Amino acid sequence: MKEKKIVLFLLSALAFFICFPFSPYSFCSNAEKYNTIISKAAVKYGLPSDLIHSIIKTESNYNPRAVSSKGAAGLMQLMPSTAKQYGVTNVFDPEDNIFGGTRYLKDLTSLYQRNLDLVLAAYNAGQEAVKKYQGIPPYEETIEYIEKVKSSYGKNSIIGKTKIYKYYDENGRIVITNNIFLYLQHRKK
C-alpha cells in the first residue's frame, strides 16, 4: 500500500514538473501559456488569434520543442528556410516562432486573398505545391490538415481587423482609407 502511494506521489510530481507553466521542459497542451504572445502577433499582423491558436494546436499541440520528420520546428512548425526568411533566429523560442509564423501566415493571407483553404494548403504543403496544382494539392496530409485546422478554428474565412485612417486632403475634404501609406503621406505633421 505504501509503495503504491509513493509511486502515485512520484507520478504526480513528475506530471507537475512537466506541466508546470514556467518550466523550460513543459510540453503540455497549454494554450493559455502563449495567449499573450499570440494576441500581440495577431494584433500586429491583423489576423484572428483563434486562427493562430488553431494552427499551433494542429502543428505542434503547443509543444515549443516539436520537430517534424521533414525538419519543421517549434510551435508553428517553421521550415528552416521559412524561419530564415522571416527573421526567426531561434525556432524553439515561442515568441520568435509565433511572430515569424504569424508574419508568414499574414503574407499567405494576402497572397491568396484571404481564401482560408488555400492559405492553409500553402502553410502545410508549400506555395509551390498550391501553384503546381492551381489550388489545394491532392495530398492526403494537406487535405486532413485543412479540415483539422478549420474544425478547431470554427470559421470558413479569415477575417482580420482592418484599421481605418482619416485625413484631410489639399481641398479640405475628409478622406477615409485603410491604406497606412496613403495616410502617412497626407497627414498633417
- Residue type at 46 in one-letter notation: G
Nearest to 125, CA basis, from 103, 142, 100, 143: 142
Does the annotation count 59 as an active-site position?
yes
Q: Which of 59, 141, 147, 170 is catalytic?
A: 59
From the list 144, 124, 151, 166, the residue with the least C-alpha distance to 53 is 151
Burial class (CB in 10 A: 0-12, 13-18, 19+), 65: middle
- Residue numbers annotated as active site: 59
